[in-house]
Each structure stands twice: as structure tokens, then as C-alpha cells.
Structure 1
Amino acid sequence: MSSAVPSRTPSAPAPADSTRRRGLNWRIRFAVLSTVWGFSFLLIKVGTGGYAPFQVTFGRLFFGTAVLAVAMTVRRERLPRGIRTWLHLTVAAFVLNALPFSLFAYSELTIPSTLAGICNATSPLWGMALSMVALSEDRPTRRRVAGLGIGFLGVLTVLGAWQGFSGLDFGGTAMALLASLSYPIGWIYVRRTLAGSSHSNLSLTGAQLLLATVQLAVVTPLFTTLPTSFPLVPLLAVITLGALGTGFALLLQYGLVAEVGPTTAQMVTYFIPVIATAAGVAVLGEQLGWNTPVGALIVLAGAALTQSRPKRPSAATGASALPQAPAEAAAGAARAARAAAQP
């Protein structure tokens, strides 16, 4: 998923200047972001048609990092400092980027891009389940627990549990679900280790993608051979996946968060599987049973419930906002990592 800008010191530059971006209505940018991330699963499918999954992932990270490097240069941002920060970002890069991106690429060798996109929508469900155990400040409510149950009922509907999962590729589906599970694991890790970082969102994300690129640069030659040819369409798909679906999309999301806030900006999460399904059917001609869209809607409904929060007391009621500050600062670092993980 997608969320907000991390908290930072007053001297740190903002990742996006909302006043400069208001020339283009935020709803248009929201639609563009939803479309770009929704088409990512189609691009993965096309890319793996010409290159090995690790090569697709490496290309995606390389071109995504290149876009962020240009943005950091233009905005005169520097990479984070401190060995401890880089060590934590190394773990985050693996769990939030290198691992899930590779798993999705491998999964789409055997499952449709539509199913991969829907599996991605289960991340909020995994996140809610894990946060109840790992985050003491994230207490479950009846509504959120109900959302968890409804969401996983939707997963079973998508997979056709009533017919014994007939025709389902278990290996590919398991990899897509595992990729979705790795995101909240990474978010919780970042929330515990990088909360309250003074580095900007762009700086942290740029360093994280750089480290993930290095990780894939080491792994890819060990498990793949250099292509003897470079098919044009799959190559363009990989470049687009990295430059637009990773680098440009992150910059676009930062601007949305700065202008309309994290709550509205993260709603893009619920449009991704819809667009991914439509793209897979319309462009790739993938088959779609009735249970896939119905199950996807149930998953999204459950995910929306798991993200609901009780209303906080306002200043008018005499409640102080100060006790909430540590939790908000912790959430900020996780939101920065969550943005770099999409989709």
C-alpha cells in the first residue's frame, strides 16, 4: 500500500511542494497514480515474457532508482547518513522491494496478472493481523476484526475454495500472497527502527530503492544468464514498470499526500486491483470467472474495514494531542516505506 509523508525536523525539505502541484487537480493525479500502479501487474506479465523474473525485478528497481536520483539531484537532497540507518534500510529494501517484487515476477509465470493484482490487495489484511501482535498501540476493534474475516472470505472466493481450488496454480498463488505478506512485515520493521527519522521521505526512499537494486544486481547473475537477445516489447515494459510504476509513481504519491493528506491518498490502494483486473482482461485477454471480481470486491471491503480508526478526541473536548505524537512519528517512517513498496 500507500500512505503518508514521514515526520521530519523543520529544517528537512518536504518531499513535494503542494503549492507547485496544485496547477493539476489532485483528482487527476490520483487517477493517474491508480492507473500506473494498476497496470504494473500487466507490465510484469509482459516483461517476464521476454526476460527472467529476476531480470525484470532488477530492471524495475534500476529505472525506478534512476528517476528518484534525478529528483533528488533537482531538489538537492542528500542520501541518509549513519551506519545504523543504512543497515535498517538494507533490511527494508529486501523485505519491501527486492523480495516482493521478485515474488510477484515469479508468480506471474504461472498465474494471471489479474490474480496477482488481487493478491496484492490482501496486504492491509495481513497488516492488520500482524499489527495486533507486533504493535501495542494498534489495538483491534470489532469493526477491524470483522474486516479481517470478511477480507479473507473474499480471498477464498477469489481462489474458488468451494470447488477445491480447481485449476489454481498453488505455487504462483502462494508466491503472490507471500509477496503481499512481506509488505506489512516491512512496514512494521521500519516503524520500529526508523520512526522519527530526520531524513526526508525522498531521501529514505531513494536510498532504499538503491539498496534493493544492489541486492538484485548481486542475485540476478547467480540465478540467470545474460539474454542472447533483447525483445523490444518486454524491454519497454520493464523500463515503464521502473520509471513510471516505481519512480514517477512515488513522486506523484508524495505530492498527493502533501496536498490532500494520507487518508485520501491511500485510497488509491482500493483502485489498484480493479484496474489490474480490467487491464489483464482487456489487454492480455485473460479469462475471468464470476468469483474473481466478486471475491475482489469482498477483499476490498474487508481491507477498508481493517483500515478504519476510531475518531480521536478534538481539542474542544479538552484532550491533548501531545500523547499521540510518538505514535504519529512512528507511523510516518512506516508510511515512507509503504510508499516505496507499491505495488
Structure 2
Amino acid sequence: MSTTDAPSARATSADVPAPGSAPAPVATSTASRSAQDAPAPRRTFAWQIRFAFLCLVWGFSFLFMKLGTEGFAPLQVSLGRVAFGALVLLAFLVIKRERLPRSARTWGHLAVAALLLNALPFSLFAYSELTIPSTLASICNATSPLWGMALSVVALSEDRPTRRRVAGLGIGFLGVLTVLGAWQGFSGTDLTGTAMALGASLSYPIGWIYVRRTLARDEHSHLAKSSAQLLLATLQLAVVTALFTSMPTAFPAVPLLAVFALGALGTGVAFLLQYGLVAEVGPTTAQMVTYFTPVIATASGVALLNEHLAWNTPVGAVIVLAGAALTQSKPRTS
């Protein structure tokens, strides 16, 4: 998720990624070091092309999850996602000749980050898509900045709300009610699945607040910490998956390829592209990927999965994104 997606160094409410599709790498203490640590691949293509590719990857991640759950249990989809993503980052770690963190304290905090930013939200999204369309899951994912602003007011004393952000919060949740058809009594909407998707979106800002409080000054690179984080998420999901699911009796091609794409592209490669864009064009521009993700997810769900799209879904999505944009905006300075 996704995811910005591209978080700034401070990871305030305005920086919460929409990481339903991203590996949610850990923020560091300064913006300059964020750019220096960015494990950007060689800039073979213009940043606009890489930006468009990132939008596509994260937009299609919700379709990949839906396809994956057609052949595997949701926990197995999430396990494959973090495992394939970890392999990509570890390969790049070897190429860069970097090492994983050695501090036990860092690993302990990364274990919590792995739970809140990877294992839990990935699993909740996968379970939610058993009963709700991928389009609705992607719109729920877009509420992460709204949750982030609300939580940061409570958890981060220096991050005070402005009228603009409070207005964005109200508009955003009005959009959620529009998507769900509140005036119809939420008829036709699976509330359990929707609650899971919204819970996944809530898990991201909780994780980012924890990261900011515990790892903001950690000296390890983004690549090293994110590789370790995905390794820990893989271990967590491997244990839970072994306890609550049985070994698949078959490995159908389409669901397997969907899980591979979800992990290798939507989690591993997306991380490399994300920080390459942050380093090259800055977090504000890179963050715009957040607003394209639900559009692509909705288009792919309708076109490829034949998902029904009532009028209130796109209208509500626009309202949600407008609210999220307000919560992340800053007043003009003269």
C-alpha cells in the first residue's frame, strides 16, 4: 500500500503513507539523510515514467490481492507478499553491500513496526477482499492520512491541527459515508469486510507514530531497516499461517502469479522506486501517487474483475481524496 506514499523524515500526520501496497520503510531523523539513504535504482527512465509505474503497481495491488485469495487463504497471500518483497530488498542489500541492523533494540522496534505496518494491515486487506470489492478496499486504504491526522493530534503533542486539516478530516469521513451509502443504511455493503479494510488503513498511522517515537534517530539506512522489517513480518506471518491454515493442495498459476507480483513488485520494487522518487523530485511530488492509486484500483476492478460500481463509489472516493489532500496541505506562506 498502499501507500504518499513517500514519507518525509518527520512522519507526521501529513506524511502518513497510503502503504496498502508499500513495504512501509522506516523514517529517519533528517530529510537530507532520507534522500542520501534512498536505495534508488539507476535512473534509466525519466522520473515521470517511474512515477506512473509506481501508480500502476500500487493501483493493481488490490486486484492482485483479490486474485490471490481465489487460490490461497488470506494469510497465505500476505505471507507470500512479504516473503517475495523481502527477497527483492535482500537482493538489493547484497548488491549495495549493506548489512542488516545489528542492534537488538532496533530489531525489537522493527518487530513492532513489521506487525503494524506489514503483517496486520496486509492480512486485514486480504481478508476484507473475501467479502468486499477491491475498489472499496482501495478507497478504504485512501483514508490512512485521515486516521493519521486524527491520531497525531493525540499522540504527537507538537503536531497541532489547523482549521484546514480539521476540515479535511471532516470532508474525508463524509466521503467514507458516501462510499458506504450511509443514507441507505449501508445496505449492500459487507460491514465486517469494510471494517477490516478500514482497520488496515488505521494500522498504518499507528505504526508510523510508533516508528517516529522509537526509530526516528536510528542510524541504519532505509534499505537495511526495511529489509529487516520485511524479514520479521515474514517470520510473524509464517508462524500465524502455520497455526491457522493448512498447506495448499494446489498452486494455481493465476493466484500464484498474483501473489508474486503483489510481493515482488508491489512491496519490493515499489520501495526502491518510492525512495528513488523522493530523492529525485522530493516527497511532495512523490506523495501524489496516493491520489492515483484508488483511481487505478477502481478501473482495474471494474474492467478486469467485473465489479459493480454504483454512482456513490467514485463520488465518495473523490471526497475522500479531497479530504486527505487537505489534511496533508500546508497554508501558503507569504
TM-score under structure 2 normalisation? 0.90
1:16 aligns with 2:12: no
Give distance in 2, aligned partners of 1:312 and 1:137.
20
Change (3 A) 1:224 1:134: same
Q: Which of the numbers 99, 113, 117 marks the counterpart of 2:120?
A: 99
Match of 1:173 in 2: 194
**Aligned amino acid, residue 106 of structure 1:** Y
**Aligned amino acid, residue 96 of structure 2:** R
Match of 1:319 in 2: none
1:240 aligns with 2:274: no
1:278 aligns with 2:299: yes
Give distance in 1, aligned partners of 2:196 and 2:286.
27
CA contact (8 A) 2:40 2:272 kept: no
Change (3 A) 1:17 1:228: closer
CA contact (8 A) 2:153 2:159 kept: yes
Q: Which of the numbers 189, 207, 210 marks the counterpart of 1:186?
A: 207
Match of 1:324 in 2: none
Give distance in 1, aligned partners of 2:234 and 2:71.
20
Give distance in 2, aligned partners of 1:158 and 1:194.
36
Match of 1:229 in 2: 250
Q: Which of the numbers 75, 80, 83 marks the counterpart of 1:54?
A: 75
Give distance in 2, aligned partners of 1:177 and 1:13.
34
1:268-293 Cα shifts (integer Å, max 9, x gaps): 11111111100100110100000000
Q: Which of the numbers 206, 209, 227 marks the counterpart of 1:206?
A: 227
Match of 1:85 in 2: 106
Change (3 A) 1:219 1:312: farther
CA contact (8 A) 1:35 1:275 kept: yes
1:163 aligns with 2:184: yes
1:179-231 Cα shifts (integer Å, max 9, x gaps): 00000000000000001211111111111111000000111011100111111
Q: Which of the numbers 137, 151, 162 marks the counterpart of 1:130?
A: 151
**Aligned amino acid, residue 125 of structure 1:** L
Give distance in 2, aligned partners of 1:149 and 1:244.
34
Change (3 A) 1:17 1:172: closer
Give distance in 2, aligned partners of 1:209 and 1:260.
26
Give distance in 1, aligned partners of 2:263 and 2:40.
23
CA contact (8 A) 1:134 1:188 kept: yes
Match of 1:121 in 2: 142
Change (3 A) 1:17 1:102: closer
**Aligned amino acid, residue 14 of structure 1:** D
Deviation of residue 17 (structure 1)? 4.9
SS of equivalent to 1:165: coil
After superposition, residues 57-72 of structure 1 pair within 5 angstroms as 57-72=78-93
**Aligned amino acid, residue 115 of structure 2:** F
Deviation of residue 30 (structure 1)? 0.6
CA contact (8 A) 1:63 1:243 kept: yes
Pairwise CA RMSD: 1.6
**Aligned amino acid, residue 46 of structure 2:** N
Give distance in 1, aligned partners of 2:157 and 2:76.
39
Match of 1:307 in 2: 328
Give distance in 2, aligned partners of 1:40 and 1:95.
19
Match of 1:263 in 2: 284
1:111 aligns with 2:137: no
SS of equivalent to 1:219: helix
Aligned residues: 310
- In structure 2, runs of 5+ residues without a counterpart are 10-27
Deviation of residue 237 (structure 1)? 0.5
Match of 2:12 in 1: none
Give distance in 1, aligned partners of 2:176 and 2:36.
41
Give distance in 2, aligned partners of 1:75 and 1:110.
42
Deviation of residue 243 (structure 1)? 0.4
SS of equivalent to 1:229: coil
1:150-180 Cα shifts (integer Å, max 9, x gaps): 0000000000000110111011000000000
1:245-289 Cα shifts (integer Å, max 9, x gaps): 100011011100000011111111111111110010011010000
**Aligned amino acid, residue 153 of structure 2:** M
TM-score under structure 1 normalisation? 0.88
Deviation of residue 117 (structure 1)? 0.4
Give distance in 2, aligned partners of 1:28 and 1:195.
31
Give distance in 2, aligned partners of 1:16 and 1:264.
18
Give distance in 1, aligned partners of 2:182 and 2:320.
15
Identity %: 74
Match of 1:320 in 2: none
